[in-house]
């Protein structure tokens, strides 16, 4: 199978994630969409790694996983603290500073 | 490449003896500034775990300031050893560049961070609560605002001393960011400095709901933009087959001739280069707060604890512009015909957008946020110059701007009423009558932002616009001067409000700070005046530092 097809899949996943960030309203779901975008990047890295025949892309995918894990820790801490004080994780409700 | 050859890359014959993997060669001495800061941050975490609560604050402040000063000394040592000029080279197996711009920006970040840590450590602004001094940060970040557990934490005198290690981690990422020499290091450094900043934004003692909201907005948008950056990196990796800056630059300029025919679909594919480059630029422009990626700036600047806002506004901008400069000047000079028009557009709408929207603001922190957007536009004008003066003028501007910003936000922390900081502009009316010194200092900072002669803002703007004009961006200079004039209007309006209107009866009080904040403000005023009156030495320094290694 042509590996370029995986690139199309990566681009598709990235687009789905980006669209999800823009249209979903729950902070947790928005965050999951960001994770989907990061995983799409991983797929692209691994696919390019296969195409080029060097291992850089696969190593970068590991780094991305670690970064994504760290991001989950920080992000969930912030979203949970917001939820506990407002009883809502909706990004639309968080509008104290709207002009 | 045949599929069996590719397969042999990650499999090995069972009977063959594996060669020893050579250990990477790391120049620890040249990475000392970053390593010192990371080490101090880790020690800071241990301090949180083992030192009694009562003495943590003193230990953390001491540790942070000593580590930052030591790191700055290391930067000066490296620069004196010629690593900024003649001995500039690429360290850590190609991951980190040790050269003039990197050292200059690292020095700027470290000095600005020392001043910012002073404002973090300020504990005299709020009245003493239950016999305990309080700082700008939440007593216990995990407790729900207004709950019993929060009251209990305040009563017990808890303080979030974790802010110091968090700030140190952020600073370590910022030190690597402008010196990153491959795209993977760039991405990791971006996350290392962003994640602690998201947390710091959520830790305000007063107005905690706003603070948490700012953190959520910053986090979600920051993660969104870094995903774009990462996908851009993936595409550039596909384009060049490497994430090293030098290799990508070679492929962009077409000096690599031996393209594997099997890779004709990806390597050297212009679609990958253009889309990938645009997405990486998007990620970096988000961090510098350029229009149209600026939407987070006003909300985050307003909601975050003011010392954090000052730190973020100064140090993040320095680090992000350093990385942007290196990317455009080292990696993508071969396609400057493609990125220059885009950056022209971004610079123009950033300068005008920031200056025009700032006019309608009624909150001093939001006003400073839009002013920082406009300043990002001015710095972008220098970036677009694509000549040697472009680099040095941007370096100088960043140095001048960061101290003014920290000083201005430090003044904002002083003007208080019962609810904490009085940030609404109407509260600032007549401040000059009530406390002339604070108002005068703030006026100096505003004049520097406006770029009035004899302040650092003027020297910086002059250098940047001169470089832009010489680089063939004359129209950009005209737009810059016009938006400077627009911006001057709202800076002067605040000065008029402070000095020429009657103070209100229920107006805010001006807190008398400890020597820590006084030092921060004093350094800001001193840098503003010195760089305004006698900028030549620092311009020469920036000029001699303004050569990238590749």
Q: Look at B209 and A14 and tell me if their CB atoms are within 8 Å.
A: no
pLDDT tens profile B427-473: 999 899 889 999 999 999 999 999 999 999 999 999 999 999 999 88
Q: Would you state the pLDDT for residue B5?
A: 63
A93 within domain boundaries? no
The answer, yes or no, to whether residue B408 has pLDDT greater than 80, is: yes
Helix (H) or strand (E) holding B417: strand B415-417
Contacts of B464 (CB under 8 A, 6+ apart): B378, B379, B381, B382, B393, B394, B397, B480
The answer to whether B132 and B146 have CB atoms below 8 angstroms apart is no
Q: Within 10 Å of residue B534's Cβ, how many Cβ atoms?
A: 11
pLDDT tens profile A2-35: 888 999 999 999 999 999 999 999 999 999 999 9
The answer, yes or no, to whether residue B236 has pLDDT greater than 90, is: yes
Residues in chain B with CB shorter than 8 Å from the CB of A56 are 184, 237, 241-243
A99 within domain boundaries? no
Question: Alpha-carbon torsion B304, B306, B308, B309, what sign?
Answer: positive
Q: Strands across the sheet with B415-417, in order?
A: B420-421, B415-417, B509-510
Q: For residue B269, how far is the Cα from the chain centroid?
A: 33
Compute the nearest-CA separation of B14 from chain A (Å).
20
Which 8-state DSSP code applies to residue B132? B
Instruction: Tell me the three state secondary structure of residue B509.
Output: strand
Query: How many angstroms separate the first and last alpha carbons of chain A?
Result: 53
pLDDT tens profile B101-150: 999 999 999 999 999 999 999 998 888 888 888 889 999 988 999 899 99
| Residue closest to A82 by CA, chosen among A95, A98, A69, A70 | A95
Cα atoms in the Cβ-side hemisphere of radius 13 Å centred on B80 = 6
For residue A2, which phi and psi values (nearest 5 degrees)?
-70, 120
The answer to whether B42 and B163 have CB atoms below 8 angstroms apart is no
Domain that holds residue A26: 4-86
Residues in chain B with CB shorter than 8 Å from the CB of A84 are 144
Tracing tokens 């691994």 back to the chain, one arrives at A46
Question: Alpha-carbon torsion B27, B28, B30, B35, what sign?
Answer: positive
Q: Would you state the pLDDT for residue B360?
A: 92
> Which range scores top for mean pLDDT: B187-201, B234-248, B496-510?
B187-201
Query: How many angstroms separate the first and last alpha carbons of chain B?
Result: 29
| Of B9, B199, B234, Cβ closest to residue A41 | B234
A91 within domain boundaries? no
Cα atoms in the Cβ-side hemisphere of radius 13 Å centred on B101 = 35
pLDDT tens profile B324-364: 999 999 999 888 889 999 999 999 999 999 999 999 999 99
Work out the angle at residue B20's Cα, subtended by the Cα atoms of residues B16 and B25, and round it to the nearest 5 degrees: 155
The answer, yes or no, to whether residue B62 has pLDDT greater than 70, is: yes
The answer, yes or no, to whether residue B156 has pLDDT greater than 60, is: yes
Q: Is the peptide bond before B292 cis (omega within 30 degrees of 0)?
A: yes
The answer, yes or no, to whether residue B14 has pLDDT greater than 70, is: no
Q: Would you state the pLDDT for residue B12?
A: 62
| Of A34, A57, A81, Cβ closest to residue B223 | A34
What's the CATH code of the domain at A18?
1.10.287.3510
Q: Would you state the pLDDT for residue A2?
A: 84
Compute the nearest-CA separation of A26 from chain B (Å).
11
A96 within domain boundaries? no
Tracing tokens 């940047």 back to the chain, one arrives at B464
Chain A residue with minimal CA distance to B200?
A78
The answer, yes or no, to whether residue B410 has pLDDT greater than 90, is: yes
Residues in chain B with CB shorter than 8 Å from the CB of A41 are 227, 230-231, 233-234
Mutate one of B145, B146, B220 to test the A interface: name it (highest A CB count within 10 A).
Answer: B220
Compare B207 and B70 and report the one with higher pLDDT. B70
pLDDT tens profile B90-113: 999 899 999 999 999 999 999 999
| Of A48, A58, A74, Cβ closest to residue B234 | A48
A24 within domain boundaries? yes
Domain count, chain A: 1
The ipTM of this complex is 0.97
A95 within domain boundaries? no
Tracing tokens 């917001």 back to the chain, one arrives at A82
| Of B188, B212, B231, Cβ closest to residue A41 | B231
Compute the nearest-CA separation of B304 from chain A (Å).
12
DSSP calls for B157-222: T---TTHHHHHHHHHHHHHHGGGB-BHHHHHHHHHHHHHHHHHHHT-BSSSHHHHHHHHHHHHHHH
Compute the average pLDDT of residues B169-176. Answer: 97
pTM listed for this prediction:
0.94
A17 within domain boundaries? yes
A50 within domain boundaries? yes
| Of A10, A78, A99, Cβ closest to residue B202 | A78
Percentage of chain B beyond pLDDT 90 is 76
């Amino acid at each position: 199978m042509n590996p370029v097809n995986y690139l199309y899949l990566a681009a598709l996943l990235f687009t789905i994630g980006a669209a999800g960030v823009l249209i979903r309203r729950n902070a947790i779901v928005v965050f999951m969409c960001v994770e989907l975008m990061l995983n799409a990047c991983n797929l692209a890295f691994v696919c390019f790694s296969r195409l080029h025949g060097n291992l850089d892309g696969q190593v970068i995918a590991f780094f991305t996983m670690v970064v994504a894990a760290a991001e989950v820790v920080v992000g969930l801490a912030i979203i949970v603290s917001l939820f506990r004080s407002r009883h809502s994780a909706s990004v639309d409700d968080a509008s104290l500073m709207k002009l | 490449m045949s599929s069996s050859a590719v397969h042999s890359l990650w499999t090995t014959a069972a009977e063959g003896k594996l060669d020893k993997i050579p250990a990477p060669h790391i120049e620890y001495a040249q990475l000392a500034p970053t390593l010192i800061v990371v080490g101090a941050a880790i020690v800071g975490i241990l301090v949180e775990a083992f030192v009694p609560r009562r003495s943590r604050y003193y230990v953390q402040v001491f540790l942070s300031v000593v580590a930052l000063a030591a790191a700055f000394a290391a930067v000066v040592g490296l620069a004196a050893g010629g690593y900024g000029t003649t001995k500039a080279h690429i360290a850590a197996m190609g991951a980190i560049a040790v050269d003039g711009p990197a050292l200059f920006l690292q020095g700027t970040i470290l000095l600005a961070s020392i001043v910012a840590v002073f404002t973090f450590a300020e504990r005299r602004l709020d009245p003493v609560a239950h016999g305990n001094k309080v700082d700008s940060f939440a007593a216990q970040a995990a407790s729900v605002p207004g709950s019993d557990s929060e009251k209990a934490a305040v009563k017990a005198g808890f303080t979030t001393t974790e802010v110091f290690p968090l700030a140190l981690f952020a600073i370590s990422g910022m030190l690597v960011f402008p010196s990153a020499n491959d795209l993977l290091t760039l991405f990791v450094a971006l996350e290392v400095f962003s994640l602690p900043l998201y947390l710091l934004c959520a830790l305000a003692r007063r107005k905690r709901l706003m603070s948490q909201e700012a953190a959520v907005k910053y986090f979600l948008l920051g993660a969104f933009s870094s995903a774009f950056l990462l996908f851009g990196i993936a595409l550039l990796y596909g384009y060049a087959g490497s994430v090293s800056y030098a290799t990508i630059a070679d492929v962009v300029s077409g000096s690599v001739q031996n393209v594997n025919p099997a890779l004709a679909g990806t390597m050297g594919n212009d679609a990958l280069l253009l889309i990938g480059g645009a997405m990486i630029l998007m990620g970096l422009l988000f961090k510098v707060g350029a229009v149209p990626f600026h939407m987070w700036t006003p909300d985050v600047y307003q909601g975050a604890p003011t010392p954090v806002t000052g730190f973020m506004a100064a140090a993040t901008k320095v680090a992000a512009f350093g990385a942007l400069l290196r990317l455009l000047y080292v990696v993508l000079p071969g396609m400057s015909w493609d990125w220059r028009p885009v950056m022209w557009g971004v610079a123009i709408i950033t300068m005008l957008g920031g200056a025009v929207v700032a006019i309608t603001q009624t909150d001093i922190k939001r006003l400073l946020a839009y002013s920082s957007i406009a300043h990002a536009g001015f710095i972008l004008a220098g970036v677009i110059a694509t000549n040697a003066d472009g680099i040095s003028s941007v370096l100088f501007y960043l140095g001048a701007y960061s101290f003014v910003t920290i000083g201005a936000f430090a003044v904002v922390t002083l003007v208080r009423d019962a609810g904490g900081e009085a940030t609404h502009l109407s509260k600032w009316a007549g401040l000059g009558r009530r406390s002339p010194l604070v108002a005068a200092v703030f006026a100096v900072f505003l004049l520097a932002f406006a770029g009035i002669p004899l302040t650092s803002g003027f020297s910086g703007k002059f250098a940047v616009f001169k470089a832009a004009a010489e680089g063939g961006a004359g129209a950009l200079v005209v737009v810059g001067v016009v938006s400077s004039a627009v911006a001057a209007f709202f800076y002067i309006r605040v000065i008029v409000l402070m000095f020429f209107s009657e103070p209100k009866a229920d107006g805010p009080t001006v807190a008398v700070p400890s020597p820590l904040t006084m030092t921060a403000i004093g350094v800001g005023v001193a840098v503003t005046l010195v760089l305004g009156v006698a900028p030549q030495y620092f311009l020469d320094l920036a000029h001699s530092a303004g050569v990238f290694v590749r």
